[in-house]
Amino acid sequence: MATTLESQLKTIRLLVQGDSSAPKRPITRPSILFDPKEAADIDLETIFSIAIS
């Protein structure tokens, strides 16, 4: 029983350590207004300012 629990904890530990790296931004993002690569670099504030203008 201890070996099963130990292996489960090891698996969880490895998953948590893998998530600690910096979040990766997508290379492309679907868009009907912009090129997919350009859309990946546009933040919500920019989209909001375009929408209200």
Residues in the chain: 53
Q: Which two tokens stand for residue 8?
A: 């489960």
Position 25 scores a pLDDT of: 65
CA dist 29 to 3, 13, 36, 46, Å? 44, 31, 5, 15
Whether the pTM exceeds 0.75: the reply is: no
In tens digits, the chain (53 residues) has pLDDT values of 568 888 888 888 877 666 555 566 668 888 888 899 898 888 889 989 989 99
Position 14 scores a pLDDT of: 77
CB 26 within 8 A of CB 18: no
Position 49 scores a pLDDT of: 92
Q: Parse the chain into domains and list their residue ranges.
A: 23-53
CA 28 – CA 36 distance, rounded (Å): 5
Position 22 scores a pLDDT of: 57
